[in-house]
Amino acid sequence: MHHDHHASRPGRRRILAGLAAAGVALALVATASAAAASTEAAGLKPLAGKIIGIDPGHNGLNWTDPSFLDRQVWNGREWENCDTTGTQTAGGYTEARFNWNVATYLRADLIRLGARVVLTRTSNHGVGPCVNTRARILDRARANVSIDIHADGGPPGGRGFTILEPVADGPNDRVIGSSLRLARDVHAAVLRYTKMPISDYYGHNGYITRNDLAGLNLTTMPKVLIECGNMRNAADAALLGRPAVQRSIAAALTAAIIRFLAGR
């Protein structure tokens, strides 16, 4: 899959590289946080009364229980494994840890803005739950909107983030249109507030539809899954492991959720 994703962005990428070199990467986070902080200072809680679901993919001890991971669960279209261990960087930094860290930053941002937050796991030192259970936890919580947080294990030469979108299959029929709108909000916010580039190896222009994932097949609220970058790529891995980048991704997801719920 080869697409020219970068035609419109070389200038921006050069600027970002320069900023990073100057140690100003945090300014990007500050931009998103400043918007949220000024809202907060004005006494406004734009997410008051909202329930937000966060599914940080995998779990830190999944690797200890292969038979649990091999359990077959119904994903809304077919049987699949309960879950996997997730991927990791060449240096051994795990996707489960990355997903959990971003989720933790995101939860804090959302709570500060008045939301109630539901997570599908409570720590990064457990096993499970299975992917169908994760979907059910968020469905039962009646979340207004949800995000599945992952990072990919792609070919080492490929970089960037991809937004995975649901395909209508029955349970999710009523939230396809809204999920596609959420996908656009997440895509725009990640480009605006983080240093992650659009994927150059997966999907098209940072988007791909998937009909084989429980989290997307079984959802009854607007939901997308974001592969924040490619942990098997050295440049992406260097970014994904940094707390400042993780915070910027959380800030971008917060901005996207606020925008999505504002309805435009």
Residue nearest to Zn ion (CB): 150
**Is 57 a residue that touches Zn ion (CB under 5 A)?**
yes
For residue 106, give the H/E element and its range: helix 95-112
Neighbours of 174 (CB within 10 A): 11
**Is 150 a residue that touches Zn ion (CB under 5 A)?**
yes
Indicate the residue among 33 and 84 with the shorter CB distance to Zn ion.
84
Indicate the residue among 87 and 220 with the shorter CB distance to Zn ion.
87
Stretch that binds Zn ion, among 78-86, 107-115, 173-181, 242-250 (CB under 5 A): 78-86
Number of residues this chain uses to bind Zn ion (CB under 5 A): 3
Residue 196, helix vs strand vs coil: coil
Write out the two tokens for 129: 């739950």
Task: Please give the Cα distance from 250 to 66 (Å, whole number).
Answer: 30
Indicate the residue among 88 and 254 with the shorter CB distance to Zn ion.
88
The minimum distance between CB 167 and Zn ion, in angstroms, equals 19
Task: Please give the Cα distance from 130 to 166 (Å, whole number).
Answer: 18
Active-site residue 95, yes or no? no
Indicate the residue among 143 and 225 with the shorter CB distance to Zn ion.
225
CA 70 to chain centre: 24
Stretch that binds Zn ion, among 11-19, 81-89, 135-143, 186-194 (CB under 5 A): 81-89
Instruction: Write the CB contacts of 156 (distance below 8 Å, at least 6 apart in sequence).
Output: 232, 233, 234
Chain residues binding Zn ion by CB under 5 A are: 57, 86, 150
Active site (catalytic) residues: 227
